[in-house]
A and B are shown apart, each in its own frame.
Chain A
Amino acid sequence: MSLSRHTLLVFTGRLIVLVVILLGAELGVRYGLLSQLFFSSPSQIADAFRIQLAQGTLLSNIGITVFETLLGLVVGSLAGIAVGLVLPQMRTLSRVIEPFLMVLNGIPVIVIAPLFILWLGLGLLSKIGVSVYIVFFAMFIPVYTASLRLEHTLVDALRVMGANRWQIFWKVVVPSSMPSVYTGLKIGSGLALIGAVIGEFVASRSGLGHMILYASGTLDTPTLYLGIIALAVFAGILSLTIDAMGPLLVRWRFFDEK
């Protein structure tokens, strides 16, 4: 009873905050308290939304950024999982290339993006490239660390039962990396979007990043806010989707029974 009252209070509080922000922006801009150059009222943003929707530009820009992000997330994650799992199996090779990977990971993605534009052009491919690049490390590092710190007793137990390296890899190494894959997906999903938008910021002809940058350059403040809101909504949906994948990837962490 008290829990539901508490929850109700929290939701009411959130609703109040939202209404205050929207109402404050609407009235502030309408009565000249907030400069139209820096702020837009919700009604102005709604107008921009209607216009862009009618022109078809909003949906195509959203679609492009969503496509780049999802492809970056999928390809980067798969590559990160594969390298993170296989590399620890080859001790010498892993020790040779580990410092190179760590240095690459340390380079800010914003300075890597121009390289991808140079290599892959102004189109979607370069944005996907940037996205893959940062997602790869977000996935590789937790998976790699987990496979290095594998529970040794489990491996010994399987070896005593006669398991070969292949069986140990599939029955112990891969499943025990799943919590790290889940972590990697959580971090990587946010970074995938950042990678795509950074790519669009550096040089592009379409996408939400391009729309925001163009709106900023032409002092079209409502469209700028519209782009940010669209990105925020997509980021929220993506994050909720990844959270919902937890019980699929690491069911044993969520339930008592298979």
Chain B
Amino acid sequence: MLEFRNVSFNFAGRRNGVEVLHDVSFACRADEIVAVIGPSGCGKSTLLSLANGLRKPSAGKVILDGKPVDGPSRLIGMLFQQSTLLPWRSVVENVELGLEIRGEPKDSRRDKAVTLMRQYGLSGFERKYPHALSGGMQKRAALAQTLAMGPEVLLLDEPFAALDAQTRVVIENDVVKICRAGKRSMVLVTHDIAEAISMADRVVVLTRRPATVKETFEIPFSRDAKSVADVPGMPEFTTYFRRIWDALDISVTGMDNAA
């Protein structure tokens, strides 16, 4: 279980700096998908960088299975918004990168990478460079790279934002299945309400900066859906969409005011 316990974060700066996160608390149990949604620039990505160990909270703690997160951990994997595949490595070399960093011998890490690539429909692309792959396949490769290390927790920072609509649904669905099958925890940061409802068991809505938890929505029906593509067609979807939209409190009258 991954837990944010009264987490605050200030960007260091003149005097007290800028407070980005203020007293954020929520948990993500094993076998649970939590979506974090909030206004643009509210600190969603910063929240993930506290969980992946790249930054330390100014106050409070991020706790994984009872132990505070203190730097990167092999139990926590992350999928970034931008492509993080190294352009000078072939796809299979990228998939095995995490294992290589960990010092796993060449043969066994290559075997694992090839197996994972077969599972995720990347067979035959082992020797290709990332630029020769479509956006969707690049995401799959990045996912395979993360999963190769066997993390308990997956952190996703708007990883599907750049994909076209069809590819996106297919990959969202794959990620949900993979997560459920491995009984992993997953924290998904997104600005897309439909994506949050379709994928997550719970949606945490953050306020504007300094961000704090405004409201939490349990989504009881997304787990029952055969595919994330079916969720928007479910009768409860619209109700939740509206409630989350209201909680986000996005002003859509900006243009009128400007005029």
Question: 9 tightest CB-CB pairs across the interface, nearest first?
Answer: A157-B84, A256-B132, A258-B90, A161-B98, A175-B88, A252-B129, A163-B101, A160-B52, A160-B78
Q: A78-100: which have CB < 8 Å to B?
A: none
A187 to chain B: closest CB distance in Å? 22
Q: List 24 A-B contacts (CB under 8 A).
A: A153-B82, A153-B84, A154-B84, A157-B84, A158-B97, A159-B72, A160-B72, A160-B77, A161-B98, A161-B102, A162-B72, A162-B74, A162-B101, A162-B102, A167-B101, A171-B86, A172-B86, A175-B89, A250-B88, A252-B87, A252-B88, A256-B128, A257-B127, A258-B129
Q: Which of B74, B98, B102, B131 contacts A256 (CB 8 A)?
A: B131
List of A residues within 8 angstroms of B52 by Cβ: 160
**Cα–Cα, bound, A162→B80 (Å):** 15
What's the tally of chain A residues with a CB closer than 8 Å to chain B? 23
Question: Interface digits, A238-258 against B, CB 8 Å rule (1 contact, 0 not)?
Answer: 000000000000111001111
Q: Are A160 and B54 in contact (CB under 8 A)?
A: yes
- Interface SS, B side: loop
For this complex, into which size category does the number of interface residues on chain B fall?
20 to 34
List of A residues within 8 angstroms of B131 by Cβ: 252, 256
Chain A residue at smallest Cβ distance from B73: A162
Q: Are A255 and B88 in contact (CB under 8 A)?
A: no
List of A residues within 8 angstroms of B88 by Cβ: 175-176, 178, 250-252
Q: Are B80 and A156 in contact (CB under 8 A)?
A: yes
Chain B residue at smallest Cβ distance from A162: B72
List of B residues within 8 angstroms of A175 by Cβ: 86, 88-89
A201 to chain B: closest CB distance in Å? 41
Q: Are B90 and A157 in contact (CB under 8 A)?
A: no
Given contacts A167-B101, A255-B129, contact A159 B54 (CB under 8 A): yes
A136 to chain B: closest CB distance in Å? 25
Question: Interface digits, B30-55 against A, CB 8 Å rule (1 contact, 0 not)?
Answer: 00000000000000000001001110
B95 to chain A: closest CB distance in Å? 12
Q: Are B129 and A160 in contact (CB under 8 A)?
A: no
List of A residues within 8 angstroms of B84 by Cβ: 153-154, 156-157
Q: B79-115: which have CB < 8 Å to A?
A: 80, 82, 84, 86-90, 93, 97-98, 101-102
